[in-house]
Amino acid sequence: MQIFKPKFGRAAVAALALVLAPALAPGSAKATEFINILTGGTSGVYYPLGVAISKVYADNIPDSKVQVQSTKASVENLNLLEQGRGELAFSLGDSVKLAWEGDTEVGFKSKLGKLRGIAAIYPNYIQIVASKDSGIKTLQDLKGKRVSVGAPKSGTELNARAILAAAGMSYDDLGKVEYLPFGESVELMKNRQLDATLQSAGLGVASIRDLASSLPITVVSVPAAVVDKLGPPYVSANIPAGTYDGQSEGVDTVAVVNFLVTREGVSDDVAYQMTKLIFDNLPTLESAHKAASQIKLEDATKGMPIPLHPGAERYYKEKGILK
């Protein structure tokens, strides 16, 4: 008895496989959820917190591919978000406000209308640190000195401009202005090529801890009168004694709140998960950097200068933070 063996060409077999694949598959494949977290320089606070958040997301958001991008921080982060090149970004509150207003002078070509809020997190303390050898003790002593004011058009640099202006000064009063990230600023100070650095970051930032362990420093006060002139979103703050080696007394300064920001186009479910997982995993974030100990759920929507993402809003309503 002859058995009939049908003959199929390779093209026919391939076509048949494509037809049968959906029916044979155990379940339909889910699209990968890409989450790019925009942070700052690696020696700041944004970056280690971003790395900690990325692990939390990767472990808890199904089908997600999470990465962390080191950037020049606030202004660059917000522009990248608007361009759809990130899903979560760290930024200083004044930068977020200026982005929403479309302030061209600070690096926003127009209103960044796609930005949406996730959470207010910890305050950035504006920390002005000089080498003891420089003789700098007050803001006015910065005149004629070599000072790094942060990466160009970063949130830190915007803070520097604002503080100097409120103190009746400008970059023209300084001897030399360097636009450098935190780590590079510290290296120049160690080499006696800079007198002072202004860094807007959480308390205990790694760059200043490194500097203070290498040479004697002076933490320069920002007086209350200067803070009053600055106004919101700036507030008075204090850098407690012992925050850095050799700092024997608390130092008055100014602070501005940091925000986590997303954009239109990120789904409500993903934004909800991104928000929820932040507050469900605060101990993990605190182990990455102690600045995270100041993140409070009850403060998460305070001072938000842009509309909340609907996914974040849903979470806050569930928790009773919003009605």
Instruction: Summarize pLDDT for 1-55 with one digit per residue, the tens.
Output: 454 444 545 544 444 444 444 444 444 456 799 999 999 989 889 999 999 999 9
Mind listing the domains of the chain with CATH numbers?
Answer: 33-121+258-318 (3.40.190.10), 124-256 (3.40.190.10)
User: Which SS3 state, helix, strand or coil, does residue 33 take?
Assistant: strand
Q: Is the peptide bond before 48 cis (omega within 30 degrees of 0)?
A: no
Query: Comparing C-alpha atoms, which of 233, 229, 204, 230 is closest to residue 120?
Result: 233
- Residue-level pLDDT at 1: 47
Q: What are phi and psi of 312, to 5 degrees?
A: -65, -40
| Pairing outcome for strands 251-263 and 176-178 | unpaired
- Contact (Cβ atoms closer than 8 angstroms) between residue 313 and residue 320: no
Averaged confidence pLDDT in the chain: 91
Whole-number Cα distances in Å, 267 to 35, 87, 272, 274: 11, 10, 8, 11
- Residue-level pLDDT at 202: 85
pLDDT band at 105 (very low <50, low <70, confident <90, very high): confident
In 107-142, which positions are buried (b, 16+ CB within 10 angstroms) versus exposed (e)?
A: bbeeebebbbbbbbbbbbbbbbbbbeebebeebebb
pLDDT band at 151 (very low <50, low <70, confident <90, very high): confident
The pair of three-digit structure tokens given for residue 95, joined into one six-digit string:
């930068």
- Residue-level pLDDT at 18: 44
Q: What digits encode the pLDDT tens for the residues 210-260? A: 999 999 999 999 999 999 999 878 889 999 999 999 999 999 999 999 999
- Contact (Cβ atoms closer than 8 angstroms) between residue 86 and residue 69: yes
C-beta atoms surrounding 22 within 10 Å: 9
Please report which helix (H) or strand (E) contains residue 98, including its range: helix 93-101
Q: Could you tell me what percent of the chain has a pLDDT over 70?
A: 91
- Residue-level pLDDT at 20: 46
Q: What digits encode the pLDDT tens for the residues 48-90? A: 999 999 999 999 999 999 999 999 999 999 999 999 999 999 9
From first CA to last CA, the distance across the chain in angstroms is 80
Query: Comparing C-alpha atoms, which of 37, 19, 53 is closest to residue 287?
Result: 53
> Does residue 164 register a pLDDT over 90?
yes
Torsion of CA 74, 77, 82, 87, to 10 degrees: -120
User: Which SS3 state, helix, strand or coil, does residue 119 take?
Assistant: strand
Q: Could you tell me what percent of the chain has a pLDDT over 90?
A: 80
> Does residue 138 register a pLDDT over 80?
yes
